[in-house]
Amino acid sequence: MMASATFNSSLWRLIKIALLAIHGVIGFLYIQHFHTSLSSNEYEHVNGVTRIVIPDAFLYKDIIDVDNVFVSIGLSGVKNTIGPSLLWVLADFNWYIVFCMNLVFLLLIVYYMERLAEQYGIRKSNAQYAVIATLLMPVISYYSIGALKELPTTFMLLGFIYYTNASRFRLATIFVITLFLFRYQLLVVLLLFFLGLQFGKNQLKFTMTLLMALSAIFPILIFFDLTSSSTTQLYRDEYGVAGSLGGIVEVIRNEIFIVSAAAVIVRVFQSLFEPFISLLGTASFYEDGSFSVFTFSHVISLVIMVPYIVNFAKRFVASFDKRSPPSLMTQKIYSLLLILLFTVGGFSFIHHRYLVPIFPLLIIASLIPRAKFTEASSSLVRIRSVSV
């Protein structure tokens, strides 16, 4: 997990340019190869390949009336369409221009990953390999095709926590407002995050307690329709809700108080590792005889993420050590990640892909060194600095 070799500034700049260039070339060739199908809103079973793009890319484009852009978007009845649809308008509905916009988002993702790594005192070598790991994830390329939510949301979450750490709240607010254009449900996430901030040194403990309490009364959230539970059907099979493990978990989560908390935690793990779970059932990247770009991208990306997820889990457990409580900056990023994991993965689970935007944030959180991770060691560092 800990990288030892550090690239010097010039070489590191060349590596980033090379990786971004490879990403760009692959993307342009991909669009060129499938351009006829993309222009015809076809995404399944195209010349032996299926799920060549997320169908939402077509939806966000097709709802737009060029003569009444804002009215057509507002009255479409489609959730989270404002940001992606406006990107299509700005790109004049051109797949190549949208891809270039996504390249800009990717550049910004890299920029804020490096800035966050500096804030958290992460070793330069670890930060460099974290960026490489992110740029090598197939999902990054996959969600660059068409105007979608994933890359913009990833960039905005990184920027939001960076400016919150820096106490530059005006800029953080701009990121919050823009984030709502792409996924308005994250308003709940940020409200819970800001609520936790009021507890200072106990933010992480409060956040965990609050999330467990909400999980324990989840049937009430269902009753008042405060979640998207009606759409959580991925683990249901043809025999109905009770015919699959995921269905059983869903029934417990939705109907049994207190025990629902355990079901929410199980759902978080199901959401996070869903590509592996699905692959166990099919043992193949093929769907009905066609190679699934969607399945391949998510499985390989999750393989890359596993070491960081494991390290994040270890750090989270270590945060409960009363002898060395987590620092305030550590609590911020860990609280935000916990809220995202619970609300997106446990409360309103629809697809694993909705967790993709947290991957770079989770990578950074998993790499925070002990000198920055704990309050005790951070204080020790400050004392040593003063004495010198």
User: Distance between alpha carbon 350 and the CA centroid of its chain, in Å?
Assistant: 13
Q: What share of the chain is helix, strand, coil (3-state, %, to 5)?
A: 70, 5, 25
In percent, the amount of the chain with pLDDT more than 90 equals 76
d(CA 213, CA 261): 8
How far is CA 205 from each of CA 46, 209, 333, 368, rounded to the nearest angstrom?
A: 50, 6, 13, 19
Listed ranges 63-72, 147-156, 181-190; the one with the highest mean pLDDT: 147-156
For residue 77, what pLDDT is reported?
A: 86
Strand 49-50, strand 286-287: pairing = unpaired
**3 inside domain:** no
For 290, phi and psi rounded to 5 degrees?
-115, 145
To the nearest 10°, report the CA torsion of 18, 21, 27, 28: -150
pTM: 0.92
Please report whether residue 204 resides in a domain. yes
Burial (CB < 10 A; 0-12, 13-18, 19+), residue 93, is middle
Q: Hey, what are 378's tokens?
A: 């951070």
Residue 93 within any structural domain of the chain: yes
Residue 167 lies in a domain: yes
Q: What is the mean pLDDT of residues 357-368?
A: 97
Q: How far apart are CA 271 and CA 350, in angstroms?
A: 8
CA nearest to 88, candidates 46, 44, 56: 56
pLDDT mean over 84-104: 97
Structural tokens at position 295: 């399945």
In a domain, 350, yes or no: yes
Number of structural domains in the chain: 1
Q: Residue 71 and residue 76: Cα distance in Å, rounded?
A: 8
Residue 273's identity, in one-letter code, is F
Q: What 3-state DSSP class applies to 34? A: helix
So what's the pLDDT on residue 35? 97
pLDDT interval class at 179 (50, 70, 90): very high
What is the Cα–Cα distance from 388 to 385, expressed in whole angstroms? 5
On whether residue 2 sits in a domain, the answer given is no
Dump pLDDT digits (tens) for 95-116.
Answer: 999 999 999 999 999 999 999 9
Structure tokens at 12: 């590191």
Residue 61, both tokens: 């484009």
What average pLDDT does range 264-269 have in this prediction?
93
Instruction: Give the per-residue pLDDT at 316.
Output: 94
Residue 262 belongs to domain spanning: 9-387
Please tell me the predicted confidence (pLDDT) of residue 207.
Answer: 97
Structure confidence at residue 4 (pLDDT): 65
Which residues have CB under 8 Å from 128's CB, separation 6+? 3, 6, 7, 12, 15
Q: What pLDDT shows up at residue 386?
A: 35
Rounded to whole angstroms, the Cα distance separating 241 from 50 reads 27
Residue the block writes with tokens 């992480």? 204
Is the pLDDT at 346 greater than 80, yes or no?
yes
Max avg pLDDT among 6-10, 66-70, 154-158, 269-273: 154-158
Q: Is the pLDDT confidence value at 184 over 50?
A: yes
Residue 383 binned pLDDT confidence (cut-offs 50, 70, 90): very low
Q: What percent of the chain has pLDDT over 70?
A: 89
Phi-psi region of 225 (alpha: psi -120 to 50; beta: other; left: phi over 0): left
C-alpha dihedral (358, 363, 369, 374), degrees to nearest 10: 20
| Rounded mean pLDDT, 205-230 | 83
pLDDT digits (tens, 9 = 90+) for 34-64: 999 999 999 999 999 999 999 999 999 999 9
pLDDT in tens, 222-262: 876 655 555 454 444 433 444 567 778 888 998 999 999 99
Q: State both tokens at 146.
A: 């068409």
**Residue-level pLDDT at 349:** 55
- The mean pLDDT value of the chain amounts to 90
- Is 1 domain-assigned? no
pLDDT at 170 over 90: yes
Residue 4 within any structural domain of the chain: no
Give the Cα-Cα-Cα angle 134, 164, 304 (nearest 5 degrees). Answer: 15
